[in-house]
Amino acid sequence: MLLFQLNQATLPPLLALATPDDMLLLRRDAVYLLLSQHSWPCQVSVLQQDILQRGIACPSAVAVLSDEEWVELTLEASQVISCLD
Residue (of 19, 43, 47, 16) closest to 31 by Cα position: 47
Output the pLDDT for position 55: 95
Question: Tens-of-pLDDT digits for all 85 residues of the chain?
Answer: 999 999 999 988 888 899 999 999 999 999 999 998 888 999 999 999 999 999 999 999 999 999 999 999 999 999 999 987 6
Alpha-carbon torsion, ordered 11, 16, 22, 28, to 10 deg? -10
Map out the domains of the chain with their CATH numbers.
Answer: 2-83 (3.40.1260.10)
Given this model, what pLDDT does residue 85 score? 60
CA angle 67, 74, 55 (to 5 degrees): 40
> Model's pTM, two decimal places?
0.92
